[in-house]
Amino acid sequence: MTKLLIYFKGYIKESIFGPLYKLLEATLELFVPLVIAAIIDKGISNGDISYIIRMSLILVGLGIVGLVFSITAQYYAAKAAVGFIKKLKQKLFSHIQSFSFSELDTIGTPTMITRMTSDMNQLQTGVNLTLRLLLRSPFIVLGAMVMAFTIDAKAGLIFLAAIPVLSVVVFGIMIWCIPLYKKVQERLDKVLGVTRENLTGVRVIRAFNKEDDEIKDFEDKNDELTNMQNLVGRISSLMNPITYVIINLAIITLIYTGAIRVEAGIITQGAVVALYNYMTQILVELIKLANLIINITKSVACGNRIQAILEIKPDFKHTDKAPVQLKTDIMVEFKDVYLRYKNAGDDSLTNISFKARKGETIGIIGGTGSGKSSLVNMITRFYDATKGEVLLEGINVKDYPVEQLRNKIGIVPQKAVLFKGTVRENIRWGKNDASDEEINEALVLAQVKETVDSKGGLDFEIEPGGRNLSGGQKQRLTIARALVKKPEILILDDSASALDYATDAALRKSIREMHHACTVFIVSQRTSSIQHSDKIIVLDDGAIAGIGKHQELLESCLVYREIYNSQFKKEGG
């Protein structure tokens, strides 16, 4: 958590002025009982109305000035907290963007969303409260005790005895509750987890008629949360009655002692009222401080979780120096490439070697989990080879600046992802300055132009995740997004799975007939999608089972033949 303090740079002034103005407000608050005592002793006792009015105006003035100080303190504390979190969010988001897919897979999307949202909000609240109240409450407690001694030393001894007892009760209950609050948070996380799963998987749950089971699971998790919250609530509820018993005993003692000393003429009636007010201030501030420390404890825990993400060093190495381009007709080459995912027990790809020439179409096929997507993801450096080299135009992909590398490649991932916005805005993810003419050309190539026109054209608004589109429409739009940049390499990672055979065939035909030369990688489960490729790579359990053209592989590769026969062999054939 302490390493995050560097993000206060630029907000030092606000971090000083926030607590400073709060202490000024607290100082004025300490003078209020003295003014009230003066009103009682001089104004009321002597029947001096003008004095009462003057002192009342002073009270109003103290209130107004204190309010100004409090608002100013809130302004500076909020500015510092918001600015600190703004810089921290920017840093965390930038840091997450530097992660390779390996780190993203390991950490998990829900974790990163939680760190960026709820943990940040909790930390911001903690910083704000700390700047405003962490110094104020102890200052009031100590100041009230000192002021009590200035009024009457013997009465001050009552404060000296009451404050440690109150502190033990308040902070004892707080220390008891802190680990329980952590357990509450853990159970809350479980409830949120179940809720998230149900909302994202609602169709599957209903398809398998599991609503009752999920309701029971949610109720169980919710009951655990409720029981833990009730336990913490019962323990926390002890604070008020116990502290009020102690404070009232102290007040009784104070009033009894004060009455005797007033009778003896040692102190005045106003002094007793002032001492009573100081005792009340102490109780209020100790309870505030206990709640503040609980809040700070939660904030520190959130800060530590954020810091843990920031301390993860990405294994993705960047270079800013553009490589010297080589003259070669080999666009992509794999040399004895191995890939093992982080924390995996075995290699996902082993001894992968092949060459793809410029303008060739490379088909990649294999069973589920054979490593097809892993292979093409290494061309874009979504994952780096554990051993061996992946070369692009004769140069290791690791030697390219990432932006230059990915500008050469258009990729259509397995899962079609679209963003909220118009069709035009989504297609321009591929090329920021693409004209409407270029966008329409890409839509025609992707066999989706008619669909877009029927929905209102390029200004048609796509909902988040493309909810208002079918699976095939989303896939074709993501293909258009990749095509609009006119890439040197086009990777279609099982991106036609939702298309019918006729549309798939028309799409492949239009890609083959594109005006600009493009090396195409087609990952597919269908032999029909890749059988006309210049070269087909057959993967089996992470290794190459065969390389060649369609007819060659039917004769020489058992794995390919089995896949083909399972899709095309007629009954009785």
Note the pLDDT of residue 569: 66
Note the pLDDT of residue 259: 86
- Produce one character per residue of 242-278: b if its CB has 16 or more CB atoms within 10 Å, e if not: bbeebbeebbebbbebbeebbeeeebbebbbbbbbbb
Q: What is the mean pLDDT of residues 8-19?
A: 89
3-state secondary structure of 48: coil
Return the bridge partners of 365, or none.
538
Q: What is the mean pLDDT of residues 269-279?
A: 87
Q: Where are the strands (E) in 319-369, listed by range?
A: 330-339, 349-357, 361-366
Whether residue 100 is predicted with pLDDT greater than 80 in this model: the reply is no
- φ/ψ region of 133 (left if φ > 0, alpha if ψ in -120 to 50, else beta) reads alpha
Of 67-81, 224-238, 558-572, which gets the smallest average pLDDT? 558-572
- Produce one character per residue of 295-319: b if its CB has 16 or more CB atoms within 10 Å, e if not: bbbbbbbbbebbbebeeeeeebeee
Of 38-47, 52-61, 474-483, 484-493, which gets the smallest average pLDDT? 38-47
Q: What is the 3-state secondary structure (H, E, C) of 463-488?
A: CHHHCCCCHHHHHHHHHHHHHCCCCC
Q: Which residue has the higher pLDDT, 196 or 12?
A: 12
* pLDDT, tens only, 374-407: 999 999 888 888 899 999 999 999 888 888 888 8
Rg of the chain over CA atoms, in angstroms?
Answer: 36
Element (H, E) at 340: none
Question: Would you give the DSSP letter of residue 525?
Answer: S
What domains lie within the chain, and their CATH numbers? 2-310 (1.20.1560.10), 330-568 (3.40.50.300)
Q: What is the mean pLDDT of residues 61-84?
A: 93
**Residue 290 banded pLDDT, cuts 50, 70, 90:** confident
Contact 490, 520 (CB under 8 A): yes
Note the pLDDT of residue 571: 39
3-state secondary structure of 355: strand
Cα–Cα distance, 174 to 296 (Å, whole number): 12
Note the pLDDT of residue 573: 39
Contact 318, 94 (CB under 8 A): no
Cα–Cα distance, 164 to 172 (Å, whole number): 11
Cα–Cα distance, 180 to 290 (Å, whole number): 15
3-state secondary structure of 11: coil
What is the amino acid identity at position 364? Answer: I
Note the pLDDT of residue 17: 92
Of 19-33, 160-174, 208-222, which gets the smallest average pLDDT? 160-174
**Residue 572 banded pLDDT, cuts 50, 70, 90:** very low
- Give how far Cα 260 sits from Cα of 34, 265, 447, 517, Å: 20, 9, 98, 103
Name the token pair of 341: 């995912």
Strands of the sheet containing 361-366, edge to edge, are 409-412, 489-493, 519-523, 361-366, 535-540, 543-548
At 410, phi and psi to the nearest 5? -110, 125
Q: What is the mean pLDDT of residues 201-229?
A: 90
**Residue 491 banded pLDDT, cuts 50, 70, 90:** very high
Name the token pair of 63: 């209130």
Note the pLDDT of residue 538: 94
Cα–Cα distance, 32 to 239 (Å, whole number): 27
Neighbours of 128 (CB within 10 A): 22
Of 84-88, 412-416, 556-560, which gets the smallest average pLDDT? 412-416
Neighbours of 200 (CB within 10 A): 10
**Residue 83 banded pLDDT, cuts 50, 70, 90:** very high
Q: Average pLDDT, whole number, for the chain?
A: 87
**Residue 470 banded pLDDT, cuts 50, 70, 90:** confident
Whether residue 141 is predicted with pLDDT greater than 90 in this model: the reply is no
Contact 490, 410 (CB under 8 A): yes
Whether residue 134 is predicted with pLDDT greater than 80 in this model: the reply is yes
Q: Which of 310, 367, 327 is nearest to 89 (CA)?
A: 310
Note the pLDDT of residue 440: 92
What is the amino acid identity at position 551? Answer: Q
* pLDDT, tens only, 513-553: 887 778 999 998 888 888 889 999 999 988 999 999 999 99
Whether residue 364 is predicted with pLDDT greater than 90 in this model: the reply is yes
* Helices 153-200 and 239-263, packing angle to 10 deg: 160
Note the pLDDT of residue 1: 65
Q: Which of 563, 400, 405 is nearest to 491 (CA)?
A: 405
DSSP symbols for 367-432: STTSSHHHHHHHHTTSS--SEEEEEETTEEGGGS-HHHHHHTEEEE-SS----SEEHHHHHTTT-T
